[in-house]
Amino acid sequence: MKKLSAFAAAALVLAAACGDVTAPGGASHCSRDNIATGRNQAECSYIVSVHDGISPEAVARDHGVMPHFVYHDVLHGFAGWLADSTRDALLADPRVEMIEADAMEFEQTIQSGATWGIDRVDQRALPLNGSYSYASTGAGVTAYIIDTGILLSHNEFGGRAVKGFDAVTPGGNAQDCNGHGTHVAGTVGGATYGIAKAVKLVAVRVLNCAGSSTTSTVIAGVDWVTHNHAPNAVANMSLGGGASAMLDNAVAASIASGVTYVLAAGNSRVDACGFSPARLPAAITVGATDATDTRASFSNFGTCLDIFAPGVNINAAWHTGTTTTHTISGTSMAAPHVAGVAALYVASHPGATPQQVRDALVANATTGAVKNGGTGSPNTLLFSNY
């Protein structure tokens, strides 16, 4: 992934009570003409939340905004391109709760070149024994892969992968044109390379073919999951960007609806508490380790992490063919190991709440195994057998 060293800059949060503000980056060039002609559309995209009981559609209509997303489940609001004058008018509208500048979100992968990961998590200590033992398959659990989509026809999934929602291409088929989402799904629930070998996999496409997106698009995917999720659901988000109150609130609302969320800590070698959604306390945030149980050189760390899992040189399904696999590294690869184990736990404990799942995985983790975990990090390594 070419942009890993550059997480999205911290999003600008604008409270409705604030005074004058400028466009992201300090510019003031979001004129109606520029937006209409396609210039500065990304720079002029905002997420607007309105107070409870207020219609987002009505607020957008009153201000002449044509939203590209409207949210009803994880927050009440909309996303759209705002001219400076429109943004200022919305800030003065008492129906508006908050405005946040849209920002870029990225997959959390590092390219590199067998799957030792599932072998590691079923045993307490090294050396590896060359096998993966499991008492549960995740049957009856649905895993939502909020990512670049999934190659649904890949042999690893045996018909268990289905289209959920495509926020990148309206009306699209959520197929993967990047590989990242297929790989993540393969670790969560692939027949050969996966943890939960009978889990249902649902593609929720929020990242484009380059593995990037906007916060507003990611929230649209989270909103869809919240409205449509099955009972006994887990979700994997191997993506992230700068701090975003809107994204944090959206994922928190989805967790409150009953979905267990597993998040990648990020690959910036710094404290994960500076990134969204990784900093969210109610989710399970995952750092990466290598085959020696050492924190991966790229992995974020800190008190916002809950657990570590294998994330270096992980082999899993790939999007270029129905039998293709690929080996890559990143906290993106660590998180789906945990999401898979979360699915195993939920399969064995139907009706478990997200908090119960999180507490169980952390309590059952192997302690004291992670070397150089980083300041503030928990010394907990994923363990899959209960």
> ω into residue 277 within 30 of 0, thus cis?
yes
Q: Hey, how many other C-beta atoms are within 10 angstroms of the C-beta on 48?
A: 32
Q: Catalytic positions, please?
A: 147, 180, 332
Helices (H), the chain: 32-36, 56-62, 84-91, 117-121, 180-189, 215-228, 245-256, 331-348, 354-364
Distance CA 11, CA 97 (A): 16
Q: Are residues 187 and 236 in contact, defined by beta-carbon separation less than 8 angstroms?
A: no
Q: Are residues 104 and 213 in contact, defined by beta-carbon separation less than 8 angstroms?
A: yes
Q: Are residues 275 and 286 in contact, defined by beta-carbon separation less than 8 angstroms?
A: no
For residue 216, give both structure tokens.
């507003």
Closest CA to 46 of 89, 6, 4, 3: 89
Chain CA centroid to CA 3, Å: 16
Distance CA 146, CA 130 (A): 31
> ω into residue 127 within 30 of 0, thus cis?
yes
Distance CA 95, CA 91 (A): 9
